[in-house]
């Protein structure tokens, strides 16, 4: 298959979890769809994104905690993490880790969807940005400061 639309896949009811490298786009897509994740961050922002999802937002599990000496994650560890994440599908017990991850993911899904609705925080931020562009906002005042003269602005490369 040459192309697969990730948002459609994540939104499918049969998807119980998402293996991600924790790039920011994949992270946001999983959060927006309310899908708990198991993560294998590699570099750059990915370890930080993974920490946010595991430790702060509690919407996923990390696969990097028990990496072998050769840097390879043993298949037993992968199976354990998948079982922990998918536990909500297998049994419905109070305190089940998978249920908690799913609940947290759904809460973040609702919050993110409220943010993009008219009047939501993301909607308002984008609206403000676009209005600034449409009204040819004098960005030099924002970037350099209001207290400089036009000549001083030119001297600063603005």
Structural domain tally of the chain?
2
What does pTM read for this prediction? 0.73
> Is residue 124, in this structure, part of any structural domain at all?
no
pLDDT (0 to 100) of residue 93 = 47
Q: Which of 16-20, 140-144, 153-157 ranks highest by mean pLDDT?
A: 16-20
**Both 103 and 61 in a single domain?**
yes
The answer to whether the beta carbons of residues 34 and 104 sit under 8 Å apart is no
**Both 97 and 20 in a single domain?**
yes
The answer to whether the beta carbons of residues 59 and 53 sit under 8 Å apart is yes
**Both 94 and 155 in a single domain?**
no
Least confident of 47-51, 115-119, 126-130, 154-158: 154-158
**Both 18 and 72 in a single domain?**
yes
> Is residue 38, in this structure, part of any structural domain at all?
yes
| Domain span at 155 | 129-158
Looking up tokens 């192309």 gives 3
> Where do the DSSP E strands lie in the chain?
18-20, 37-39, 60-62
**Both 18 and 86 in a single domain?**
yes
> Is residue 123, in this structure, part of any structural domain at all?
no
The answer to whether the beta carbons of residues 89 and 105 sit under 8 Å apart is no
**Both 11 and 83 in a single domain?**
yes
| CA atoms of 32 and 27, how far apart (whole Å) | 9
> Is residue 138, in this structure, part of any structural domain at all?
yes
**Both 41 and 94 in a single domain?**
yes
**Both 19 and 96 in a single domain?**
yes
Instruction: List pLDDT tens digits, range 58-72.
Output: 999 998 766 777 878
> Considering the chain, what is the average pLDDT of its residues?
83
As a residue count, the chain comes to 158
pLDDT (0 to 100) of residue 147 = 57
**What's the angle, vertex CA 33, arms to CA 42 and CA 113, rounded to 5?**
120
Tokens of 25: 């786009």
**Both 19 and 58 in a single domain?**
yes
Instruction: List pLDDT tens digits, range 9-60.
Output: 999 999 989 999 999 999 999 999 999 999 999 889 999 999 999 999 999 9
**Both 26 and 97 in a single domain?**
yes
Confidence of residue 88 (pLDDT cuts 50, 70, 90): very low
pLDDT (0 to 100) of residue 134 = 79
């Amino acid at each position: 298959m040459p192309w697969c639309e990730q948002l459609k896949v994540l939104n499918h009811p049969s998807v119980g979890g998402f293996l991600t490298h924790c790039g920011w786009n994949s992270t946001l897509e999983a959060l927006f769809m309310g899908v708990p994740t198991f993560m294998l961050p590699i570099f750059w922002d990915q370890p930080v994104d993974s920490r946010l999802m595991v430790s702060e937002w509690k919407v996923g599990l990390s696969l990097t905690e028990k990496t072998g000496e050769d840097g390879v994650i043993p298949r037993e560890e992968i199976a354990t993490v998948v079982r922990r994440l998918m536990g909500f599908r297998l049994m419905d017990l109070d305190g089940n880790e998978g249920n908690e991850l799913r609940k947290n993911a759904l809460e973040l899904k609702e919050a993110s969807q409220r943010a993009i609705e008219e009047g939501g925080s993301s909607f308002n931020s984008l609206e403000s940005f676009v209005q600034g562009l449409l009204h040819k906002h004098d960005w030099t005042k924002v970037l350099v400061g209001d207290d400089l003269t036009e000549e001083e602005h030119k001297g600063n490369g603005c």
